[in-house]
Structure 1
Amino acid sequence: MKISLLSLFFLCFSIVAIAQTATLSGKITHNSGQPMDGATVIIKELNRSTMTDDKGRYEFKDVKYGSYTLLISSVVSEKKTQNINIDSPSIVFNIKVKENVTRDLQEVSIAGKTEKRKMETSGFAMSIIETKEASLRNLTTNELLDRAVGVRVRQNGGEGSPIEYNLNGMSGSTIGLFLDGIEISTYGSSFNLNNIPPSMIERIEVYKGVLPSHLSGNYIGGAINVIMKKDASANNITAAVSYGSFNTYRADVSALYRNQKNGFTARASGFYSHSDNNYEMWGKFSKYTLPGGRIVRNYRTKRPNDEFETIGGRFEAGFTNVKWADQFFIGYNISDSYKQIPHGITMTKPYFGRFNEYQAHVLSLNYNKNNFLLDGLALTVNAVHSRRSTYLEDTVSLKYNWDGTLLVKNSEGPPETYGYSPGMGQQGVAVMSNIERKISNIRSNLAYTIVSGHRVSLNHKFEQSDRNDQDLLIPERSKWITLNGLTTNIFAMNYEAELLNGKLKTNIFGKYAIYKTDQQRTISELNGLLNYQNTSTTRDNKGFGGTLSYEAIRNGFLILSAEKSFIMPTDRHIYGEPENNLLANPNILPELAINYNLGGRYNFNTTNQHKFSLYGNAFWRNGYDKIIQQTRVDPVIEGRENQVEDIQVTQFVNLSKTQSIGFEAEFN
């Protein structure tokens, strides 16, 4: 218990002050008597809140005598308001919450919906992944996602290897990954979904195809939006440690604190992961070169030079449920990772001594307020500024076998290795480079409820990235490297309506994007002064679409969505990533897509304890100038141009036209 300085002063002089305070406790249950786990209980006048445990119990201490209003809310039932009078030292107040049931003269009908049900029947082809079970088990966020219908998470290799998310056949740059509505790429490659423990996640929203306007961006295949827990009603600390094969271990910890009196809230989390990734491998590309040059294929050996290590922390402080903000947080993220590179795009030859390091420093601001300035107006602002660096080193020129032994040139006599080759590395010319990126990302949403069931929203996304490539091996060359910048502005507007007593829901939206690239190229040097050439290119695109949800029968919904959208090339598409063997393509074009989704959802409510749902969705996607990652067909080794195994680099290019048709279904 906190004791004020004034109280200490009085205690020193043996003066006793008696305050009329009480302990308020109780149990919240459904009509069926089942305890309500995870419900939020708020004392409105005191702006104090808490959360029920798995038995439905809640408790407030040091509540002054008086009359108060209790607000009870949960994602699995409707909200309830209850008046209470505190007039004795201990009050036990049990509350039963109605399960959204209204009665008329003839029947009992479900009138309310949980937040999950509302989102899944809003007209978008989407699903909600709940994390309650995963938070109690040793599951990563990616493992949780991979269990969802229509979602596939692919990782090429062990820990630290690139991860690709696939939604109904769409993957790569067509899929958006968000953390509370902000692209997770802003936080740097050393911070990803696997670094976020499920215990810190409230829910995961998976959109397949058409996206709501508040997630407007360069995505046409869908998006994964991870919503972090915002309820700060209960102070807590969680931690997890795991160990697995190949010397793999993970650890994460998170903590939350809220001062119930003034609303001050602090959240912190940290993670650490390590793996040697030294699993056994064999196959066409796993080969052993005998002395003299003879090659033995399908050579079994442990995978070498593939160690991965990452560490990071996330800190946030602010206020929740205060008069001027529902949520206000200022945050700082830091992450660092080390990744050895065992080979190029294919396993043509082993690399030893080639590695990269990533580091990111991220400042963030989150503000949310309902009834902002006037009733019905809501403002949400998410802003992130990051400084990221990517270091790549490859200066070892020796030649190795997959087992780490040096190649021997001669088959007879004393072994003779190839030795060092000045100026060379494992993958061609020696490299020691660093890429500095400064990225600002601001998303803002202003929504106004005109009348009940009619809402209009304005959305704006601003993103600016500045990239500075540095040659650390020969610094003199850095001044001849082109400086690159990219600025994107996306404006979106949507109108939502509920008609026919809420049976029909529509959402019409449009967006307009302006995309600008800037380059500063050094063209000459005279008397120590550099002459630059500045070039800028501006493109714009328009998109529009809509969704419809109709409750054709009780608990049965018809869901339709359609969209014409686009993908504007990103920093990665245009300027490449040397550390990942990705070449630049400054001439890449935007991708256009037309998407259609038609589906349905039916909920079987047999009893309060047993509920089932059936979901199905058909999709048809058409892409034009589709952006894909393609291996380069340029010769890598002279005289062996046609051997695919020698390809070491990739590049983003445009395909003229693509089409994807499919169907998905789920029963749970």
Structure 2
Amino acid sequence: MRQIIFSLFLLLNASFFAFAQQSSKSLSGEVIYKNGDPVISAFVYIEQGSKHAYTDEKGQFTITDLKSKAYEVIVQPFGKSEIRLKTVLTDASDFLKIQLDENESFELDNVIIESKSKGRLTKEKGYSVEVVTTKDLALQSLGSTEILDRSAGVKIRQSAGLGSSINYNLNGLSGNSVRVFIDGIPIRNYGRAFSLSSIPPSMIERIEVYKGVLPGELTEDALGGGINIVLKKEKKTSLTASYTYGSFNTHQADINANFYHDKTGINTQLSAFYTYTDNNYEVYGDNVYVTNPQTGKVKYVKAERFHDAYESKGVKADIGVRDKSWADELTLGLLMSDMDNDVQTGATMDVVYGNRRSERDTKMASLKYKKSDILLNGLDFNTFSSFSQTNRKVIDTIPYMYNWLGEIIRDADGNPINWRNSGGEGGRASLANNKEKNFANRTGLAYEFIENHSLKANFFYNRFTRDIDDPMLPKAENELLDTRFLSKQIYSLSYDVLLSLMKN
């Protein structure tokens, strides 16, 4: 009896196993292009089911645990239209061979590459820095000083209208405690005409405001911080121009032309700007009055500034090569700028001038070289040298006194009243010409010895000389004027860690 039961048990298990084997099927196949190459990573799935597979490096696939029935198979190659076909699974082994009507080539509608901007990377270096980008403001009628004045912790005070001296205040520190740079070089090398108020926003890529400690590459004797103006350097051929007109007969125009040749890496850039304003705005207060020379009676007035015109213009040209095996960038630059400025008042507004003015012209040549991985991987080298010559003139040869109505003050007999009979409005008559020469070099090495860990060494050298010549002085006194010079050397060593990149 036991033998019969055991035999029936074996027969039932064998029948169930045979049924299971018979009901579980697999679908295999191969997907190829028209030229016979395999289609790799195509998605193959059964409609109305969860069974799917991907083709391997040979273009083959296998879908298991299927029943013997009709199926609709969908093949979706990457970047191609899907293919639908019907098949019926039987007891025999099924192998599908699917061929596309095209070869392996496709186009993507959009490719988006995300990366952190240079401004963002600057913020993440650990310094107290504010980065102001001018991209979104270039088409607005805003000056560079107005853009910067909107930054947190930055206050800009201008003593008068356009062209007057500017005082930068960073978190309460100002004056000589704050230094201004253009591409890492002190702005004084570029001449007075090339100032933050005269450089149009269209020429600026970004403005970096360091509040406190300066990075090694901006080493200077600045306790309060620094402002670094980074000019645009584009690898494309472009032409932009702008013109604005504003109050007080203010005209501002600029043009930027850039040419870049992909094959040779040659890059040329030409930038020019022109600024003019009458600065004839109205002023009033305790120091703005007119005195009757006969009676001595004082009358306070609201007067228009009549001798405060400002004109500046400049041209900057660069030519060089980029992306070479021996240099990431090698650029020779030439700059010329000129400024004319009428002087309206003396130290206070009680003293009114009608003829005194100043002129400045600057010529500068520069050479820039950058190379990454110069001797070994991770070692970057950069150097920038510039030589500039500036003529700074003060023209004051007419001693007449003026009032705030723009009139020459006269005595009771109608004769012009002179300032202390000294020959000039600001003192003795002057045609002083200060000839200034300035040489600067900044050289830096940066070595990334571990990912996101860099050791940087920088050296800055500055040599300044000034020769003074004033033909209005007595010959003996003029010959006694000595050449003045200043030499400065600064060394810095820094260790940078980009913590934000280490976390990613």
Q: TM-score range by the shorter chain?
A: 0.7 to 0.9
Aligned residue in 2 for 1:226: 229
- CA–CA separation in structure 1 for the residues paired with 2:150 and 2:363: 32
User: Which one of 210, 213, 218 corresponds to residue 210 of structure 1?
Assistant: 213
Aligned residue in 2 for 1:436: 435
Aligned residue in 2 for 1:485: 485
**Residues 306 and 457 (structure 1), Cα distance of their counterparts in 2 relative to 1, 3 Å cut:** same
Aligned residue in 2 for 1:177: 180
- Deviation track 1:21-59 (CA, whole Å, cap 9, x = no partner) reads xxxxxxxxxxxxxxxxxxxxxxxxxxxxxxxxxxxxxxx
Unaligned runs of 5+ in 1: 1-87, 101-112, 504-553, 555-668
Query: Does residue 96 of structure 1 match 2:127?
Result: no
Could you tell me how far 1:344 is from its partner in structure 2? Answer: 1.1
Q: How does 1:393-432 map to 2 (within 5 A)?
A: 393-410=395-412, 415-418=414-417, 423-432=422-431
User: Which one of 250, 253, 260 corresponds to residue 251 of structure 1?
Assistant: 253
Letter in 1 for 2:491: F
Q: How does 1:215-364 map to 2 (within 5 A)?
A: 215-232=218-235, 234-292=236-294, 294-364=296-366
Could you tell me how far 1:123 is from its partner in structure 2? Answer: 1.6
- CA–CA separation in structure 2 for the residues paired with 1:403 and 1:188: 33
- CA–CA separation in structure 2 for the residues paired with 1:155 and 1:364: 30
- CA–CA separation in structure 1 for the residues paired with 2:201 and 2:113: 30
Aligned residue in 2 for 1:80: none
- Deviation track 1:90-135 (CA, whole Å, cap 9, x = no partner) reads 98544534658xxxxxxxxxxxx55433322322111211111111
Instruction: Specify the SS of the correspondent of 2:140.
Output: coil
- CA–CA separation in structure 2 for the residues paired with 1:167 and 1:385: 29
Aligned residue in 2 for 1:597: none
User: Which one of 359, 372, 386 corresponds to residue 384 of structure 1?
Assistant: 386
Are the aligned partners of 2:124 and 2:500 in contact in 1 as well (CA < 8 Å)?
no
Aligned residue in 1 for 2:446: 447
The total of aligned residue pairs comes to: 400
- CA–CA separation in structure 1 for the residues paired with 2:500 and 2:226: 30
- CA–CA separation in structure 1 for the residues paired with 2:433 and 2:500: 59
Larger radius of gyration: 2
Letter in 1 for 2:356: R
- CA–CA separation in structure 1 for the residues paired with 2:124 and 2:435: 44
**Residues 148 and 321 (structure 1), Cα distance of their counterparts in 2 relative to 1, 3 Å cut:** same
- CA–CA separation in structure 2 for the residues paired with 1:183 and 1:203: 16
**Residues 333 and 452 (structure 1), Cα distance of their counterparts in 2 relative to 1, 3 Å cut:** same
- Deviation track 1:330-368 (CA, whole Å, cap 9, x = no partner) reads 001100010011111211221121111000001011111
- CA–CA separation in structure 2 for the residues paired with 1:152 and 1:289: 37
Instruction: Specify the SS of the correspondent of 1:178.
Output: strand
Could you tell me how far 1:218 is from its partner in structure 2? Answer: 1.1
- CA–CA separation in structure 2 for the residues paired with 1:129 and 1:418: 51
- CA–CA separation in structure 1 for the residues paired with 2:500 and 2:473: 70
Are the aligned partners of 2:419 and 2:427 in contact in 1 as well (CA < 8 Å)?
no
Are the aligned partners of 2:144 and 2:197 in contact in 1 as well (CA < 8 Å)?
yes
- CA–CA separation in structure 1 for the residues paired with 2:262 and 2:108: 20
Instruction: Specify the SS of the correspondent of 1:496.
Output: strand
Instruction: Specify the SS of the correspondent of 1:199.
Output: helix
Could you tell me how far 1:416 is from its partner in structure 2? Answer: 4.3
- CA–CA separation in structure 1 for the residues paired with 2:366 and 2:501: 41
- CA–CA separation in structure 2 for the residues paired with 1:417 and 1:382: 54
Are the aligned partners of 2:361 and 2:390 in contact in 1 as well (CA < 8 Å)?
yes
Could you tell me how far 1:423 is from its partner in structure 2? Answer: 4.2
**Residues 499 and 422 (structure 1), Cα distance of their counterparts in 2 relative to 1, 3 Å cut:** closer
**Residues 339 and 499 (structure 1), Cα distance of their counterparts in 2 relative to 1, 3 Å cut:** closer
Letter in 2 for 1:481: L
**Residues 442 and 501 (structure 1), Cα distance of their counterparts in 2 relative to 1, 3 Å cut:** closer
Fraction of identical pairs, as percent: 34
Could you tell me how far 1:369 is from its partner in structure 2? Answer: 1.2
Letter in 2 for 1:96: V
Could you tell me how far 1:299 is from its partner in structure 2? Answer: 1.5
Could you tell me how far 1:409 is from its partner in structure 2? Answer: 2.5
- CA–CA separation in structure 2 for the residues paired with 1:99 and 1:318: 29
Instruction: Specify the SS of the correspondent of 2:285.
Output: coil
Are the aligned partners of 1:332 and 1:362 in contact in 2 as well (CA < 8 Å)?
yes
Are the aligned partners of 1:331 and 1:364 in contact in 2 as well (CA < 8 Å)?
yes
Are the aligned partners of 1:287 and 1:295 in contact in 2 as well (CA < 8 Å)?
no
**Residues 258 and 98 (structure 1), Cα distance of their counterparts in 2 relative to 1, 3 Å cut:** closer
Could you tell me how far 1:277 is from its partner in structure 2? Answer: 1.0
- CA–CA separation in structure 2 for the residues paired with 1:375 and 1:134: 39
Aligned residue in 2 for 1:186: 189
**Residues 471 and 253 (structure 1), Cα distance of their counterparts in 2 relative to 1, 3 Å cut:** same
Letter in 2 for 1:436: K
Are the aligned partners of 2:234 and 2:258 in contact in 1 as well (CA < 8 Å)?
no
Could you tell me how far 1:195 is from its partner in structure 2? Answer: 2.6
- CA–CA separation in structure 2 for the residues paired with 1:459 and 1:420: 52
**Residues 281 and 264 (structure 1), Cα distance of their counterparts in 2 relative to 1, 3 Å cut:** same
Could you tell me how far 1:404 is from its partner in structure 2? Answer: 2.1
**Residues 128 and 292 (structure 1), Cα distance of their counterparts in 2 relative to 1, 3 Å cut:** same
Q: How does 1:110-121 map to 2 (within 5 A)?
A: 114-121=117-124
- CA–CA separation in structure 2 for the residues paired with 1:419 and 1:183: 41
Query: Does residue 155 of structure 1 match 2:163?
Result: no
**Residues 260 and 344 (structure 1), Cα distance of their counterparts in 2 relative to 1, 3 Å cut:** same
Could you tell me how far 1:170 is from its partner in structure 2? Answer: 1.2
Are the aligned partners of 1:408 and 1:417 in contact in 2 as well (CA < 8 Å)?
yes
Are the aligned partners of 2:277 and 2:310 in contact in 1 as well (CA < 8 Å)?
yes
Are the aligned partners of 1:254 and 1:267 in contact in 2 as well (CA < 8 Å)?
yes
Instruction: Specify the SS of the correspondent of 2:122.
Output: helix
- CA–CA separation in structure 2 for the residues paired with 1:501 and 1:438: 43
- CA–CA separation in structure 2 for the residues paired with 1:197 and 1:480: 42
